[in-house]
């Protein structure tokens, strides 16, 4: 019996995919649920597993474009109990084959060795993955279809670092998850978005759509590219709930198991280049969103406070925004609001 291998549904917006690396080519024997190949879509990669135990028969190759629910091959379940013999051939047969091989090589004629192409020593070509092609296209789209600008500020992280140090063990003991920096930034951004609704809005044709909910996308890097899982109703989540969700989505993104639905519908994005040592950058908008906050690394710097030079752990912040919908004044005020919230985290408790 032959069992169909089909491309699964991967979200309403996904209608086609690209065949990625093939782990089990035609002729391979597989067990049920064993990984056969990888499917690349414009948003996420997904591994396709064998629907049954048997021999693989594929009708596609790496790089082919396929449609959702398309049959790309079969699993032949007949003769599953039979195994391919792994016993090596007799010594006499190996010796005979060697003699035949040597007999075919003229002794008096030197072998011609074809030199490798000259370019191979200086460059290597690699086909772009589906995810990388989509990322490239969207970066160009942002440049061509938005009026993106960036504004910058810096924040003193002393208060948050002291609070984390004081409550870190108690927080982890009670909630089973570490207290990180990102939950503070999410809280600060949600508060600022409530004050400056244009940055939580989007443009649809000749209309501005104001979104009265706060679904925050968190950029997560992986070997396959950048993924942005969305924390739904972030304004209603506690610090512990935020940290648990962040850990959950980071693990799924890096394991390539995050779904399309988990990355759709964000209203604002936060990107943290600081984990890679970035001091300052201009994050790129994630259309159709109108704003994205860029976090950076924390460095001790000399700053002036009350006419005194002091050492403080400082972080540069960057807000990129769509100038078509967000005025410069509001973008600056937004970033100052975020800065003040982060420097005085007690205001979250007092609802100030």
- Residues tagged active-site: 323, 327
Question: Are 56 and 50 in contact, with CB atoms under 8 Å apart?
Answer: yes
d(CA 251, CA 325): 35
d(CA 126, CA 120): 12
End-to-end CA distance of the chain: 68
Determine which helix (DSSP H) or strand (DSSP E) holds 170, and give its type and residue range: helix 158-175
**Cα dihedral 93/94/98/99 (nearest 10):** -30
Question: Are 32 and 97 in contact, with CB atoms under 8 Å apart?
Answer: no
Nearest by Cα to 218 from 197, 196, 190, 240: 190
Helix (H, G, I), strand (E, B) or coil at 190: helix
H helices of 126-225, where?
130-145, 158-175, 182-195
């Amino acid at each position: 019996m032959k069992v169909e291998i089909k491309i699964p549904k991967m979200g309403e917006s996904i209608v086609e995919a690209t065949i990625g690396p093939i782990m089990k080519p035609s002729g391979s024997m597989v067990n049920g649920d064993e990984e056969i190949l990888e499917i690349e879509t414009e948003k996420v990669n997904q591994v396709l597993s064998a629907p049954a135990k048997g021999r693989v028969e594929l009708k596609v190759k790496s790089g082919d474009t396929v449609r959702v629910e398309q049959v790309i091959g079969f699993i032949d379940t007949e003769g599953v109990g039979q195994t391919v013999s792994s016993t090596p051939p007799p010594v006499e047969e190996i010796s005979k084959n060697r003699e035949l091989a040597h007999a075919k090589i003229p002794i008096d004629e030197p072998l011609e060795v074809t030199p490798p192409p000259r370019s191979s020593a200086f460059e290597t070509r690699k086909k772009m993955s589906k995810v990388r092609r989509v990322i490239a296209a969207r970066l160009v789209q942002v440049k061509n279809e938005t009026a993106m600008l960036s504004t910058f500020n810096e924040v003193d992280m002393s208060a948050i670092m002291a609070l984390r140090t004081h409550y870190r063990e108690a927080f982890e003991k009670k909630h089973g998850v570490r207290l990180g920096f990102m939950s503070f930034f999410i809280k600060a951004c949600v508060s600022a978005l409530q004050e400056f609704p244009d940055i939580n809005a989007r443009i649809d044709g000749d209309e501005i759509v104001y979104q009265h909910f706060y679904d925050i996308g968190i950029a997560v890097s992986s070997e396959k590219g950048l993924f942005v899982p969305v924390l739904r109703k972030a304004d209603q989540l506690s610090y512990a709930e935020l940290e648990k969700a962040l850990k959950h989505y980071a693990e799924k993104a890096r394991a390539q198991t995050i779904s399309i639905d988990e990355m759709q519908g964000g209203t604002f994005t936060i990107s943290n280049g600081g984990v890679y040592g970035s001091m300052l950058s201009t994050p790129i908008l994630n259309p159709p969103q109108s704003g994205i906050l860029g976090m950076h690394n924390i460095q001790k710097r000399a700053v002036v406070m009350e006419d005194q030079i002091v050492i403080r752990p400082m972080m540069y912040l960057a807000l990129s925004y769509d100038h078509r919908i967000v005025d410069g004044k509001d973008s600056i005020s937004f970033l100052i609001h975020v800065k003040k919230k982060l420097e005085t985290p007690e205001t979250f408790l007092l609802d100030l």
